[in-house]
Amino acid sequence: MNSLSIENLDSEMETNCPVCESKNTKIVQKILDFPHFPQMWFYNLSCSDCHFKYNDFINLAINEPTRYTYLAENKDDYTSKIIRSSNGTIRFPNIGAILEPGPKADGFITNIEGMLRDFQGKAEFLLRDATTEEEIIRINEFIKMIDEYINGNLPIEIVIEDPFGNSSLIPFDQSKLKKQRLSNKEAEKLKTGLMIFEDAQNTSS
């Protein structure tokens, strides 16, 4: 992947909505600075008519397939920030939870506790559609388990993988963060959610 210049990336542009083709659609691009961490390019597209929204992030310092691994062991560790691009895969091996990108995957910023709560929310949604007693028991056990991890700040490992190196983890304890380059074979196995928008016109300098 070619390196990305940060010149004039803070901007606002008009484009056609990829869903309804409305011209009342804007793209906002910003450079985000995080303490002790490389700059991130934030990209937001929003349509005023159909309300379609899309976010993504690009790490301006890393251009290779990357895996981050971190063991959260206390309340402070649970505040470690997660920057997930549209191509990022997030795993919690301890609880068997995984978030993989799909065709319309969004980028977002959260922390470890927030990500666990998101998994819990998805499980609660599934609970409404559960049809067997076995399903109900299994989902309720998963919801309860996440509460136990968060309330007790139990040790939990998080793994973030991105074939383009755009997802990141900003740890509370830098010494516990492990970062490694994925092999081409490992990167090819990961799902991606890359979306490309064209015909954008810059409306500010």
Query: Residue 15 belongs to a domain with what CATH number?
Result: 2.60.120.1040
Question: Would residue 4 count as lying in a domain?
Answer: no
Question: Would residue 5 count as lying in a domain?
Answer: no
Position 194 scores a pLDDT of 52
Cβ–Cβ < 8 Å for 53, 80? no
Question: Would residue 153 count as lying in a domain?
Answer: yes
Question: Would residue 87 count as lying in a domain?
Answer: yes
Question: Would residue 21 count as lying in a domain?
Answer: yes
Position 191 scores a pLDDT of 82
The vertex-1 CA angle with 101 and 58, nearest 5°, equals 50
Question: Would residue 2 count as lying in a domain?
Answer: no
Task: Return the SS3 of 119.
Answer: helix
Written as tens digits, the pLDDT of the chain (205 aa) is 333 333 445 678 888 888 898 888 888 888 877 665 667 788 888 899 898 888 887 777 767 999 999 999 999 999 999 999 888 999 999 999 999 987 777 889 999 999 999 999 999 989 988 889 999 999 999 999 999 999 999 999 999 999 989 899 999 999 999 999 999 999 999 888 654 444 444 444 3
How many domains are contained in the chain?
1
Tokens representing 4 are 């990305």
- Domain range enclosing 119: 11-202
